[in-house]
Amino acid sequence: MFSCRRLGGGLVQAGGSLRLSCAASGRTFSSIAMGWFRHAPGKDREFVAAISWNGGSTYYGASVKGRFTISRDNAKNTVTLQMSSLKPEDTATYYCAGDLGNVHTMSQRPYGMDYWGKGTLVTVSS
């Protein structure tokens, strides 16, 4: 249902910016919460950001708050993650996800999403 693409390249220097975009098919996109998670080698999957079905509410993980911005365009069935001030510790495979449940609890369910996109690798060099 979801396909993710990376805008701007997967390798970036620390302090740089990168944008990830996730395109969805199907009619349910505009009615479900969307989010981004990441998984670094040797670490547990981590919540990055979430956005409600209408874009009215957004949530961020503590490690990215103030640096990343999530947005969505329901007319185009896309959700975007704008990443700025990137750090080497942001290196991970990033996944977009869709959830039929409450957007407020997405951060607590990193393995419980209803839909997953293919991951895309982001590497931040120091």
* Per-residue pLDDT tens over the stretch 46-77: 999 999 999 999 999 999 999 999 999 999 99
Cβ burial, residue 84 (10 Å; 0-12/13-18/19+) = middle
pLDDT at 66: 97
What's the one-letter identity of residue 96?
A: C
* Per-residue pLDDT tens over the stretch 83-94: 999 999 999 999
CA atoms within 13 A on the CB side of 56: 5
Tokens for 36, please give them.
């981004």
Tokens for 20, please give them.
């990830």
Tokens for 27, please give them.
């009619």
Residues 122, 20: contact at Cβ < 8 Å?
A: yes
pLDDT at 67: 98
